[in-house]
Structure 1
Amino acid sequence: MAVDFETEIKQLRTTMASVREVTDLERLGAQIAELEEQASAPDLWDDVENAQKVTSAMSRAKAEHDKVTGMDSRIDDLEALVELGREEEDAETLEEAEKELASLRKAVEQLEVRTLLNGEYDIREAVVTIRSGAGGVDAADFAEMLMRMYLRWAERHDYPTAVLDTSYAEEAGLKSATFEVKVPYAFGTLAVEAGTHRLVRISPFDNQGRRQTSFAAVEVVPLIESTDTIDIPEADLKVDVFRSSGPGGQSVNTTDSAVRMTHIPTGTVVSMQNEKSQIQNRAAALRVLQSRLLLLKKQEQDAARKEMAGDIKASWGDQMRSYVLHPYQMVKDLRTHHEVGSTSAVLDGDIDDFIDAGIRWKRSADREQD
């Protein structure tokens, strides 16, 4: 069946018009100009931390601008390629145009997903916490597999990350780990990864080679900003200090620099041990605690709004994705029904299609509830 290039190209242009509107290229261009001015200051590198922030923000803004404008150029080039193929009646050129159309469709769809990230905190950086659940040592190993999966995903996109805390299990894997993904829209992008993940495989820790099902929980919260009003009275905090530990419980620090912070009214607990000093760990713990309380506050407001609207159905199930390594290979999201057979690719960070499907699913569910 012949490809209707005119209709396909028209649809791509319509979608890109929405992408440009949301991206606001004029605002983005002004932001780039401002960052370039800051980056050209002769004393920029007197403050290394600020210099890195400025240059990273400039690089990301330019990449986002080029991604949108570059897509428009690719659509123009595709249109020219189709015209050339038809004028020359060249089947090979038209076949090349079909391949480029398929590639463009996927690229534009991924850009379109950004237009759906319009929640209150979607633009924020993200704090991700992974905890092992039921399943013993397999669950701890699974938590470490998920940690690697998300860090590899961030690495694929050149997103900077910072590991804030790692609590190692005794035999293998992690009891829990917390890390930041330090790019705009990280929260909106990764929020759909929150929930319970399930792993089914032949346990490498079972000498009888039996199949084991294990679970791990993923929590994603928006990073707190200085403009947020989350005041925590000192009386509501309990702060404990202890010695940092590495794999197998071994001490990695000879001083009591690790910090465990408990918010007494909600029972929320945050531990930090990856910074060098107790002061740095305390600051990081407070930042993550504020981020969690910020999201908790929003969830309470959303729950109250839904209750007033008479809508009390749950939108997130306890188990949102299954990773099956035996007796067959499959990763399936139980909300969106998106599934793939290449489990090794997914666990190596190839999760963009799952994230995109999740964002579309969540926005559709939100519209139904409004």
Structure 2
Amino acid sequence: MATDFSAEIKALRATMDSVREVTDLDSLRTQIADLEQQSGAPDLWDDPEHAQQVTSQLSRANAELERVEKMDSRIDDLEVLAEMGQEENDADTIAEAEKELAHVQKAVGELEVRTLLSGEYDQREAVVTIRSGAGGVDAADFAEMLLRMYLRWAERHGYPTKVMDTSYAEEAGLKSATFEVNVPYAYGNLSVEAGTHRLVRISPFDNQGRRQTSFAAVEVVPLIEQTDSIEIPENELKIDVFRSSGPGGQSVNTTDSAVRMTHIPTGTVVSMQNEKSQIQNRAAALRVMQSRLLLLRREQEAAEKKELAGDIKASWGDQMRSYVLHPYQMVKDLRTEYEVGNTSAVFDGDIDGFIEAGIRWKRNQERDNA
């Protein structure tokens, strides 16, 4: 059946109208003008932290404006291409227009999802921690598979990442790993990945070839910024130092540079060992601790509001996604019902569909509970 380009382009423009409305381009341009004025101040770099903040905000704002304006131009070009192909009845040009239509629809869908990320911390960078759960060595192996999946996802998009801590299991895999994704909206995107992930497969570690179910937990917190008011009194922190270690218990550091930080009132624990010095690991651990306590404070405030409103619904539930490799191949999100049969692609970082479906699901949940 021939593509109705007119209807498809009309739908794209309608979506872009709502994107522009939410983005508020006039306010964005005003913000850019103000930031450009600040960035041109001769004494800007007298305060390097403030300067970094201004230049980062300016870069983000310009990228946001360019993203929307370029998409409008791309839709206009698509319309011209489609009209040319139809007027000349040129099959090659029509095929090219159909291909571009699919690309533009995907890009506009991603832009639309971005407008749904309007939570207090959604624009932040993210700190992700993966922990192996029930399932022994298979769970540890699963945790390592998830770490690779998220790092490959970030790599596909050109997002910078930094692995902050890795705790290796005895036989194979990871007990836990913590990494940062240093790009705006990383938290808004990855927050929907938080929860319990389940793997079902024939265990490569079972010499009888039995099917094994294992679990891993994913925690996602927003990276704190200088403006966040999270002060932790020193008497609330317990700090232990130890030697960093690699796979199989091999020492990778001959000094006590690794740091384990415990927040005594909440029992929150953060370990850091991937920086070169104890001072660097301590600073990194404190930053992640502040991020976790910031999210904890937000969750407590949300819980209090729910209690006042009489809302006793469970939130997302523990198990949010299943990765089945045997007896069939499928990855399925249990909240959104989104599923994919190509498990290899998912473990290689192709998870945008899950993230997009999760963001839409989360926004619908928030609307229902409002």
TM-score by length of 1: 0.91
Change (3 A) 1:163 1:80: same
Letter in 2 for 1:275: E
Q: Does 1:284 align with 2:287?
A: no
Change (3 A) 1:77 1:246: same
- Residue 52 of structure 1: CA displacement? 9.4
State how far apart, in whole Å, the 2-side matches of 1:124 and 1:337 are.
27
Change (3 A) 1:248 1:33: farther
- C-alpha distance after superposition, 1:74-112 (max 9, x if no partner): 211121123223322345433433332222212111111
Q: What is the SS of the residue equivalent to 1:155?
A: helix
- Superposed counterparts of 1:118-267, under 5 Å: 118-267=118-267
Letter in 2 for 1:276: K
- C-alpha distance after superposition, 1:211-263 (max 9, x if no partner): 11111000000111111111211121111111111111111111111111111
State how far apart, in whole Å, the 2-side matches of 1:355 and 1:74 are.
25
Q: What is the SS of the residue equivalent to 1:179?
A: strand
Query: What does residue 300 of structure 1 align with?
Result: 300
Q: Structure 2: 5+ residue runs without aligned partners?
A: none
Q: What is the SS of the residue equivalent to 1:165?
A: strand
1:137–1:171 CA contact under 8 A, matched in 2:
yes
1:259–1:278 CA contact under 8 A, matched in 2:
yes
Letter in 1 for 2:205: F
Letter in 1 for 2:118: N
Change (3 A) 1:58 1:248: farther
- Residue 361 of structure 1: CA displacement? 0.3
- Residue 123 of structure 1: CA displacement? 0.7
- Residue 63 of structure 1: CA displacement? 4.9
State how far apart, in whole Å, the 2-side matches of 1:305 and 1:102 are.
43
Query: What does residue 321 of structure 1 align with?
Result: 321
Query: What does residue 361 of structure 1 align with?
Result: 361
State how far apart, in whole Å, the 1-side matches of 2:209 and 2:40 are.
61
State how far apart, in whole Å, the 1-side matches of 2:11 and 2:162 are.
40
- Residue 40 of structure 1: CA displacement? 9.9
Q: What is the SS of the residue equivalent to 1:205?
A: coil
Query: What does residue 85 of structure 1 align with?
Result: 85
Letter in 2 for 1:328: Y
- Residue 66 of structure 1: CA displacement? 3.8
Change (3 A) 1:39 1:141: farther
TM-score by length of 2: 0.91
The farther-off stretch of 66-75 and 142-151 is 66-75
State how far apart, in whole Å, the 2-side matches of 1:347 and 1:49 are.
37
- Residue 359 of structure 1: CA displacement? 0.2
Identity %: 79
Q: What is the SS of the residue equivalent to 1:81?
A: helix
